[in-house]
Amino acid sequence: MRPPPAMTAARAAPTLAAAALALLWAGAGAAQELPVREVAPGVFVHEGAHEETAPGNGGDIANIGFVVGEDAVAVIDTGGSPAIGRRLRAAVESRTRKPVRYVVNTHMHPDHVFGNGAFPEAELVGHANLADALARRLETYKARLAEELGPEAAAGIGAPEVDVAVADRLRLDLGGRALEIQAFPTAHTNNDVTVLDPATGTLFTGDLLFVERVPAVDGSALGWLRAMDALAAQPAARVVPGHGPTLEGWPASLAAQRRYLDSLVTEVRQALKAGRGLSETVERAATAEGLGWALFETYHPRNVTAVYAELEWE
Amino acid sequence: MSGDPSSIRYRRGAAPFGALLLLTAAGAAAADPVEDERWELLRATYFADRAIEDAGQLLGLEAPKRAQDAAIVPLKVLLSPELRAKKLTLIVDDNPVPLAAAIDLGEASAPGALETRVRVNEYTNVRAVAETEDGRLLMTSRYIKAAGGCSAPALKDPAQSLARMGKMKMNLPDRIPAGSPVTAQLLISHPNNSGLQFDQVSRFFIPPHYIRSVSVSYNGKPVLEMTTDISISEDPNFQFSFVPEADGMLEVRAVDTKDKVFTESWPVKVAPAS
Ligand SMILES: [Zn+2]
């Protein structure tokens, strides 16, 4: 996607144009800067809440961030609403005047992509399956967001045009710093990518890793367990999960999620072996507790449903 | 630069669902006038001006109060023997194509439980309407709340579904007594693609591709004759009861909207009635 004329002008006269832009964005909605933390030099992360999208959080429920190179910025996920996207943009602009060259969507889920519209000048980078997967769900996601936050919150969200589709691996040059994008076979979803910043050893896992918040299976549990083996091989010093705090110590920080997915698969295999139907298996699962995951009661029954349908073909 | 920045970045996708969807109000209560009005429309479409009675105890419908996974919502219909049903219709009111399945119950079928899985787009009423041998229509309904957050009635892995298309599986109990009702579960791997989504690359709607009919028979006698549609989940799944009088073959023939025919059969060995 070509930058609109105003952005070309912005490069010619940075100070003035940046000020004008700031005014424009303020006018487009309350673009109050989203708080971000610099987890490594030039790597900024905003941590979303362990909640479902609700008026109190405005869709700010996933981790999003950005990496600043010598020439340009890459934004990694954009938040759960256009308003969160605008606030992320305000955070970028308060840290650097370099242009946002890329937006990477780690996968199709609305809490990660609905802020994309705040970065019209950037090239959108995502998994080769991203556009199709999101197109199949967009109307449902928009309707949900309208229910959760009101119709105006979902206004203007359209189908994304993925400019750079990643089927395997890709390097994104930011000037003196290149990010490595890796696409995965079906795991959390059928369109997961990770973003590695080799300069600092920071790995953005997207939702291939959940910390504290219960993992949600919207692809394949078995595929996800396999993806975690590949993930563990990534040379990272710290990881920014899709949800939960940034962690040092890799790949030990994968252990809790592996335990959860392993036990989920075991639980469903036992039910299938015992001839228990889907409804009964879900009902029993819904009463399980004590694993200490946030939102367990909301997502565990759904996970059991999805994994049941996956494993009955074994 | 002017206007809403998101309108620059995004182009609006065309509305992927049929006009019927416009009638729905998300989050509406079960007995709400909008829902009633919609049912009136559906009733007239599917049953013309025939009277439909409340089924009372004769017909049960089990469904989760809240859909967990919007793509896979189990529906279980309980048919009492006194009902003497010959046909069963499953309807998901607020889906783009509300008629999920129309099922003829054949001579080798047995009353009892009939279960399948549907996609649920919105908060919706789901209904089972049975037609009795003497031509009466009896109905029972349930209200289902949509799944929250990121759950959507979409295929999780279209590539895999396509690769496995047509594969079938039949789960039968270990011991099958002759002349008694037996519960079987049929799985058919198929994307059951709704075809409603917009293809960003081709700029056209993806054509629908789903299983449109499934016939189950035992030793040549019909068990079920089903007409199915896109409200049925991917990898269509049916649990049903039949009565094997003697050893024989349980046969399935499924046809999709590309006229591809999938057939498979399973030998059944009965144990002497005790
Ligand atoms: Zn996700």
Write the pLDDT tens digit of every residue in B201-257. 555 667 789 999 999 999 999 999 999 999 999 999 999 999 999 999 999 999 999
In chain B, what's the furthest Cα-to-Cα distance? 82
Contact B71, B154 (CB under 8 A): yes
Half-sphere exposure of B235 (CA within 13 A, CB side): 28
Contact A155 B4 (CB under 8 A): yes
Percent residues over pLDDT 90 in chain A: 78
The whole-angstrom distance between A313's CA and the closest CA on chain B is 8
∠ CA A62-A64-A69 to the nearest 5 degrees?
A: 170
Set of chain B residues whose Cβ sits within 8 Å of the Cβ of A6:
1
User: Cα separation of B232 and A180, whole Å?
Assistant: 40
DSSP state of A101: E
pLDDT at A17 over 80: no
Please tell me which residue of chain B has the smallest CA distance to A144. Answer: B149
DSSP letters of chain B? Answer: --S-HHHHH-BPPPP-S-GGGGG--TT--TT-HHHHHHHHHHHHHHHTT---EE-GGGEEEE--SB-SBTTBEEEEEEE-GGG-EEEEEEEETTSSS-EEEEEEE-TTB-SEEEEEEE---SSEEEEEEEEETTS-EEEEEEEEBPP-TT--SS-S-HHHHHHTTT-EEEE--S--BTTS-EEEEEEE----B---SEETTTTEEPPPB-EEEEEEEETTEEEEEEEE-TTBPSS-EEEEEE--SSSEEEEEEEEETT--EEEEEEEE-PBPP-
Contact B12 A159 (CB under 8 A): yes
User: Cα separation of A16 and B180, whole Å?
Assistant: 84
Q: Which of residues 38-77 of B touch A (CB under 8 A)?
A: 62, 64, 68-72, 74, 76
Q: How far is the CA of A216 from the centre of ligand 1 (A)?
A: 7
Parallel, antiparallel, or unpaired for β A247-248 and A64-68? unpaired
The pLDDT score that the predictor gives to residue A286 is 58
Q: Which of residues 173-202 of B touch A (CB under 8 A)?
A: 173, 187, 189, 197-201
Q: Which of residues 200-229 of B touch A (CB under 8 A)?
A: 200-201
More confident residue, B263 or A290: B263
Q: What is the pLDDT of residues A97-151, one digit of tens each?
A: 999 999 999 999 999 999 999 999 999 999 999 998 998 899 899 999 999 999 9
Helix axes A296-311, A255-273, angle to 10 degrees: 50
pLDDT at B32 over 90: no
Q: How far is the CA of B73 from the centre of ligand 1 (A)?
A: 21
| Encoded tokens for A39 | 């987890």
User: Which candidate from A147, A161, A186 shows the least CB-CB separation from B160?
Assistant: A186
Contact B115 A277 (CB under 8 A): yes
Set of chain B residues whose Cβ sits within 8 Å of the Cβ of A139:
13, 15-17
Contact A218 B235 (CB under 8 A): no
B25 confidence band (pLDDT: 50, 70, 90): very low
The pLDDT score that the predictor gives to residue A297 is 86
Q: How far is the CA of A226 from the centre of ligand 1 (A)?
A: 17
Give burial (CB, 10 Å; 0-12/13-18/19+) of A152. exposed
Set of chain A residues whose Cβ sits within 8 Å of the Cβ of B9:
116-120, 160
Nearest alpha-carbon partner for A46 in A254, A257, A245: A245
Q: Is B236 on the interface with A (CB under 8 A)?
A: no
The whole-angstrom distance between A199's CA and the closest CA on chain B is 30
User: Cα separation of A246 and A39, whole Å?
Assistant: 8
Contact A68, A91 (CB under 8 A): no
DSSP state of A34: P
* ipTM (interface pTM): 0.84
**What length is written for chain A?**
314
User: Cα separation of B108 and B118, whole Å?
Assistant: 25
Contact A131 B169 (CB under 8 A): no
Phi-psi region of B106 (alpha: psi -120 to 50; beta: other; left: phi over 0): beta
User: Cα separation of B244 and B221, whole Å?
Assistant: 10
Q: How far is the CA of A208 from the centre of ligand 1 (A)?
A: 8
Contact B11 A159 (CB under 8 A): yes
The whole-angstrom distance between B122's CA and the closest CA on chain A is 8
Contact B189, B167 (CB under 8 A): yes
The pLDDT score that the predictor gives to residue B260 is 97
User: Cα separation of B261 and A123, whole Å?
Assistant: 44
pLDDT at A26 over 50: no
Place of tokens 């859909």: B67
Half-sphere exposure of A274 (CA within 13 A, CB side): 12
Set of chain A residues whose Cβ sits within 8 Å of the Cβ of B112:
none
Q: How far is the CA of A90 from the centre of ligand 1 (A)?
A: 24
Nearest alpha-carbon partner for A215 in A201, A200, A231: A231
The whole-angstrom distance between A78's CA and the closest CA on chain B is 12
Set of chain A residues whose Cβ sits within 8 Å of the Cβ of B237:
309
Q: Which of residues 146-165 of B touch A (CB under 8 A)?
A: 146-160, 164
Contact A48, A63 (CB under 8 A): yes
User: Which candidate from B10, B121, B201 shows the least CB-CB separation from A158?
Assistant: B10
**Topology given in CATH for the domain delimited by A37-251:** Metallo-beta-lactamase; Chain A (3.60.15)
∠ CA B176-B182-B187 to the nearest 5 degrees?
A: 110
Please state which of the ranges A216-225, A245-254, B101-110, B233-242 shows the lowest mean pLDDT: A245-254
User: Which candidate from B5, B68, B150 shows the least CB-CB separation from A109?
Assistant: B150
Q: What is the pLDDT of residues A176-228, one digit of tens each?
A: 999 999 999 999 999 999 999 999 999 999 999 999 999 999 999 999 999 99
The pLDDT score that the predictor gives to residue B13 is 31
The answer to whether the predicted template modeling score (pTM) of the entire model surpasses 0.90 is no
Amino acid making up residue A134: L
Helix axes A255-273, A221-232, angle to 10 degrees: 150
pLDDT at B12 over 70: no
User: Which candidate from B121, B153, B197 shows the least CB-CB separation from A135?
Assistant: B197
Contact B53, B43 (CB under 8 A): no
Contact A282 B64 (CB under 8 A): yes
